[in-house]
Amino acid sequence: DAKTTQPTSMDCAEGRAANLPCNHSTISGNEYVYWYRQIHSQGPQYIIHGLKNNETNEMASLIITEDRKSSTLILPHATLRDTAVYYCIAVRGAGNMLTFGGGTRLMVKP
């Protein structure tokens, strides 16, 4: 699986969009980009995933660059409950054998 690089931490004002970047410059053609988040004392929660096209669901939007070397997770209207560690991973195939790195600690402030 391709290595991903994320900023260690980010702040966002409540109600504003949170844009979390992820670099995966060595991603191969059959690797998906997945995003999970983990709120303190809970297990990771799936957010969204994509291969080539941009994706949107009820939680977030995923923007993948045309060369697929980076992506951005967008939380359109961040709330205090979105404070968590966000993990970006590039996974081949079923996406089950996950390895998370350090992730981005997002702090949403009032």
Partner 1 sequence: KAGVTQTPRYLIKTRGQQVTLSCSPISGHRSVSWYQQTPGQGLQFLFEYFSETQRNKGNFPGRFSGRQFSNSRSEMNVSTLELGDSALYLCASRAGSATNEKLFFGSGTQLSVL
Q: What is the Cα–Cα distance from 12 to 82, expressed in whole angstroms?
A: 10
- From candidates 41, 53, 67, 110, binder to partner 1 by CB under 8 A: 41
Closer residue to partner 1, CB minimum distance, 14 or 23: 23
List binders of partner 1 among 91-110 (CB under 8 A): 93-103
| HEC sequence for 22-88 | EECCCCCCCEEEEEEEECCCCCCEEEEEECCCCEECCCCEEEECCCCCEEEEEECCCCHHHCEEEEE
Closer residue to partner 1, CB minimum distance, 7 or 95: 95
List binders of partner 1 among 18-37 (CB under 8 A): 32, 34
Span from 12-20, 44-52, 62-70, 74-82 in contact with partner 1 (CB under 8 A): 44-52
Residue 86 in the binding site for partner 1 (CB under 8 A): no
